[in-house]
């Protein structure tokens, strides 16, 4: 068991600048989609062939946070903003503390696709270039791609499988939806953060660091446990089920564990994947979206009011709100496509949201969700 306190988080005073060197793209590679469309570009970062699900993100900033989000496990990420890497990459502390500038301690995407990778970077906190950072974690990048055309294709035909092929290396397409991806991103042992009065179990399905930060800022103790950990004999006041990658119906063991929480009427908050797991445990259904929601500009409306919030999102699946179990009602709805963005029980202390209330790199419009959850805990 590891125990952490908020005061142990590193500060930016420990950062230092390294000499920048401009590198020109050299080796060519291809992004091949399952519909046989091909996009050629130049490799940066690590040079190797990879396969995964090709998805896009509309965020203009925040690539250090985005690339370290465990929800992207198994995916080739296309960034729609045309210039990436211009502010470099800050320090990633190598200790056991929570990473200060990132959402986990390593890059989670299978590969990165951009229109243009900035070989030169300039920012007071920058330690290294985006290309050097990708190389360190053996993740390939592909630049010089018409990401506008690629994104339009994904919008029209939907998210699809793809592979980055280097020269004539043979590599098969890979569908991450059939795998247990959470097993690859969850913690391997219990970790404790903070020393607040309330004790919250955090089920780590691929938890973003900012979820932990938001909880300990609210004077609670966070007990982070592996997704398949049996905490029946633990003492706790509430449970948070975190975000994570993959298809929620794959995680039957976690759904069964969540059913126990509902039966015991334990105050529970589900976030992103946690929202889908909670819904399945309650008896609802999930389905795959055509191209998912990924970015920092998704508008949602709180049902029963005219309140609208701009949210950060990253998910491929959604909860079917047409046939909700008895006692449950919609909490939020997406104003772009009408999909469900949250559930709440009419009488019992169960809540969940599809978006990210911790929202790193932003916006933070919905951080009040943590306050609403802690009201149930108290």
Catalytic position from the list 191, 272, 275, 341: 272
d(CA 97, CA 347): 38
d(CA 321, CA 342): 9
Question: How far is the CA of 268 from the CAs of 4, 242, 281, 323, 348, in angstroms?
Answer: 23, 11, 12, 21, 10
Cβ pair 53, 175 in contact under 8 A: yes
Cβ pair 316, 55 in contact under 8 A: yes
Q: Is the dihedral of CA 362, 51, 242, 327 positive or negative?
A: positive
DSSP 195-235: --SEEEEEEESS--HHHHHHHHTTTEEEEEEETT---TTS-
358 is catalytic: yes
d(CA 151, CA 139): 21
d(CA 248, CA 255): 9
Query: Which residues on neighbouring strands pair with residue 34, listed in sequence order?
Result: none
Q: Give residues with Cβ within 8 angstroms of 149, minimum separation 6.
A: 39
Rg (CA), the chain: 20
Tokens 């300990």 — which residue?
A: 216
Residue 69, φ and ψ in degrees, nearest 5: -75, 115
d(CA 50, CA 45): 13
d(CA 71, CA 16): 30
d(CA 75, CA 55): 7
C-alpha angle 54-337-34 in degrees, rounded to nearest 5: 20
Q: Which residues are catalytic?
A: 272, 356, 358
């Amino acid at each position: 068991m590891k125990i952490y306190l908020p005061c142990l988080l590193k500060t930016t005073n420990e950062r230092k600048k390294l000499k920048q060197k401009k590198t020109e793209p050299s080796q060519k590679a291809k992004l091949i989609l399952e519909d046989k469309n091909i996009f050629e570009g130049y490799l940066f970062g690590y040079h190797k062939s990879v396969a995964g699900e090709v998805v896009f993100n509309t965020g203009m900033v925040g690539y250090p946070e985005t690339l370290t989000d465990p929800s992207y496990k198994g995916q080739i990420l296309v960034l729609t903003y045309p210039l990436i890497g211009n502010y470099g990459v800050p320090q990633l502390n190598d200790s056991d503390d929570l990473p200060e500038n990132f959402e986990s301690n390593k890059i989670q995407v299978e590969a990165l696709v951009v229109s243009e990778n900035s070989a030169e970077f300039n920012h007071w906190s920058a330690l290294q270039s985006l290309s050097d950072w990708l190389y360190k974690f053996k993740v390939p990048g592909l630049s010089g791609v018409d990401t506008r055309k690629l994104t339009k294709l994904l919008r029209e035909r939907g998210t699809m499988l793809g592979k980055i092929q280097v020269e004539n290396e043979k590599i098969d397409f890979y569908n991450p939806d059939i795998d247990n991806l959470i097993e690859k991103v969850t913690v391997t042992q219990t970790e404790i953060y903070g020393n607040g009065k309330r004790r919250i179990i955090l089920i780590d399905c691929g938890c973003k660091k900012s979820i932990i930060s938001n909880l300990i800022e609210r004077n609670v103790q966070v007990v982070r446990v592996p997704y398949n950990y049996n905490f029946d004999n633990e003492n706790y006041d509430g449970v948070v089920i975190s975000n994570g990658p993959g298809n929620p119906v794959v995680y039957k063991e976690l759904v069964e564990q969540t059913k126990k929480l509902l039966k015991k009427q334990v105050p529970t908050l589900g976030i992103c994947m946690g929202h889908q797991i909670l819904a399945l445990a309650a008896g609802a259904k999930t389905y795959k979206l055509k191209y998912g929601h990924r970015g920092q500009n998704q508008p949602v409306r709180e049902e029963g009011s005219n309140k609208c919030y701009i949210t950060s999102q990253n998910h491929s699946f959604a909860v079917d709100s047409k046939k909700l179990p008895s006692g449950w009602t919609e909490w939020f709805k997406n104003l772009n496509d009408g999909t469900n963005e949250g559930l709440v029980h009419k009488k019992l202390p169960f809540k969940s949201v599809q978006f990210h209330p911790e929202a790193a790199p932003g916006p933070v419009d919905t951080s009040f969700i943590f306050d609403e959850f802690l009201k149930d805990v108290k």
